[in-house]
Chains A and B, each alone.
Chain A
Amino acid sequence: MTSNPSVTPIPLVRAGYEGILAMWIAVQKRSATARPDLISDADLARQCSEVLSMLLEGLASGSMDVSSPGWEGMRATLRGISLSRGRLGFGPSETALFILSLKEPLFGSLQELDPSSRIDAILELNHVIDRLGLLTSEVYQQGREEVSMRQQQEMLELSTPVVKLWDGMLALPLIGTLDSERTQVVMESLLQAIVETGSTIAIIDITGVPTVDTKVAQHLIQTVSAARLMGADCLISGIRPQIAQTIIHLGITLPDVVTKATLADAFVAALDRLGQRVVSTGATSTGR
């Protein structure tokens, strides 16, 4: 979209701190992976608020690289939480999911940003949270001989949220592999979100999908047709050049699906379909 630094999400996250925190705790309590048997409400709330404060601190450092010095506080906090959760009996994926579940409330706090800033912010924060989730699992894996890529993979696969990007528009950033069971879950949550939000456009972003073989392609095609039956058109974004070529060699055609290189391109195309456009008014454009 633009390489200029976008309007920063930090003030919104800071202003929405209490709301994000409350929603995050609520999301975890009602999730299927909640473990009230292992952690008390008070400890859960404390860990959430620690992570959120450290997130603000990290973001305020101006760097989105979680291995940079500005994120030292966050890294230390995550090490502590991973160790203490490990002792309580949480598995590595459970602890990573704890971090990944911050996405939903966090993205929700960005509603007030203008569209192009919002998408930039979501993409950046999405990446940051994924990295943080992986950090927690690295703590578990330190000292182990075999780094369990499979565990990381599984964990990432569980992290896919359906994000409401705009009125009438959803995005589904897929991460990890797309096997049958996983697709079922993803498809159901997308269809449910389409109905709940009355969306007419869904962007399926596959930037985070490492391999598109014929099974993954078939799952994508099924998801697109199911969405269409519910009244939403899909755009697929994030097909990297090497994946596009490989798909062609396999002989796969994605019927009637608009594809875009990036989620940002797809967003602009989707807005266009909704009859809206991103315009710079100068007045609201800041941080340039």
Chain B
Amino acid sequence: MGVPERLTVALRTQDDVVVLRQRVREQAVALCFSLLDQTKIVTAASELGRNAVAYAGGGEAMIEPSLNSGRVGLALTVTDHGPGIPNVEDAMRPGFTTGGGLGLGLSGTRRLVHEFDLRSEVGRGTIVRILRWK
């Protein structure tokens, strides 16, 4: 596998989330992430991908290696044009769910990565960008 490039994965169904996990893992392997770091970023990707499919009817994920200032990382941006999140503070609280889940996806994802940026506008959609350094 050569130098990883930016790539996008369309997210419509659960199967696409499987593909997203595989792509993220491939990129993490290409960047020589440790097994633990691979698992963390793949799991985080899975959470965000599932949310886009479950709550926004789908979206798109962009996977991007980050090679700034001598540091190596992997960034992932998941964008959807769904209903948006009315109260981000609520959504980020462990245990909060409107979908009968464990409500640990967003709060857990934040703990699995080094950078976490969530923007959401009701009626327009949600963008979550995460980054994990090696």
Whether, in the assembled complex, A277 has its beta carbon less than 8 Å from a beta carbon of chain B, the answer is: no
Q: How far is B44's CA from A214's CA once the two chains are assembled, in angstroms? A: 10
Whether, in the assembled complex, B8 has its beta carbon less than 8 Å from a beta carbon of chain A, the answer is: no
Whether, in the assembled complex, A283 has its beta carbon less than 8 Å from a beta carbon of chain B, the answer is: no
Question: For residue A246, which residues in chain B have a CB less than 8 angstroms away from its CB?
Answer: 36, 39-40, 43, 112
Q: How far is B22's CA from A150's CA once the two chains are assembled, in angstroms? A: 9
Question: For residue B19, which residues in chain A have a CB less than 8 angstroms away from its CB?
Answer: 149-150
Q: Is the CB of B21 within 8 A of A214?
A: no
Q: Is the CB of A211 within 8 A of B102?
A: no
Question: For residue B108, which residues in chain A have a CB less than 8 angstroms away from its CB?
Answer: 214, 249-252
Out of B35, B36, B112, which one reaches A250, CB within 8 Å?
B112
Q: How far is B46's CA from A246's CA once the two chains are assembled, in angstroms? A: 12
Residues of chain B at interface, number, CB under 8 A: 26
Contact A252 B36, CB 8 Å, known A179-B14, A210-B21, A213-B43: no
Q: Which residue of A lies closest to B21 (CB)?
A: A211
Whether, in the assembled complex, B124 has its beta carbon less than 8 Å from a beta carbon of chain A, the answer is: no
Q: Is the CB of B40 within 8 A of A214?
A: no
The SS class assigned to the A binding surface is helix
Q: How far is B50's CA from A170's CA once the two chains are assembled, in angstroms? A: 31
Q: Which residue of A lies closest to B24 (CB)?
A: A211
Residues of chain A at interface, number, CB under 8 A: 24
Whether, in the assembled complex, B111 has its beta carbon less than 8 Å from a beta carbon of chain A, the answer is: yes
Q: Which residue of B lies closest to A249 (CB)?
A: B111
Question: For residue A252, which residues in chain B have a CB less than 8 angstroms away from its CB?
Answer: 102, 104, 108
Q: Total A-B residue pairs with C-beta atoms closer than 8 Å?
A: 70
Contact A242 B102, CB 8 Å, known A149-B19, A214-B108: no
Out of B39, B42, B94, which one reaches A251, CB within 8 Å?
B94
Q: Is the CB of B111 within 8 A of A250?
A: yes
Question: For residue B46, which residues in chain A have a CB less than 8 angstroms away from its CB?
Answer: 211, 213, 215
Q: How far is B39's CA from A50's CA once the two chains are assembled, in angstroms? A: 40
Question: For residue B94, which residues in chain A have a CB less than 8 angstroms away from its CB?
Answer: 251
Whether, in the assembled complex, A243 has its beta carbon less than 8 Å from a beta carbon of chain B, the answer is: yes
Whether, in the assembled complex, B101 has its beta carbon less than 8 Å from a beta carbon of chain A, the answer is: yes
Q: How far is B108's CA from A179's CA once the two chains are assembled, in angstroms? A: 19
Whether, in the assembled complex, A177 has its beta carbon less than 8 Å from a beta carbon of chain B, the answer is: yes
A residues bordering B, Cβ < 8 Å?
149-150, 153-154, 177, 179-180, 210-215, 217-218, 241-243, 245-246, 249-252
B residues bordering A, Cβ < 8 Å?
14-15, 18-19, 21-22, 25, 35-36, 38-40, 42-43, 46-47, 50, 94, 101-102, 104-105, 107-108, 111-112
Top 8 A-B residue pairs of the complex, sorted by shortest distance between their CB atoms: A250-B108, A242-B39, A213-B46, A242-B36, A249-B111, A214-B102, A214-B104, A179-B14
Known: A215-B46, A218-B102, A242-B39. 6 other contacts (CB 8 A): A210-B42, A213-B105, A246-B112, A250-B111, A250-B112, A252-B104
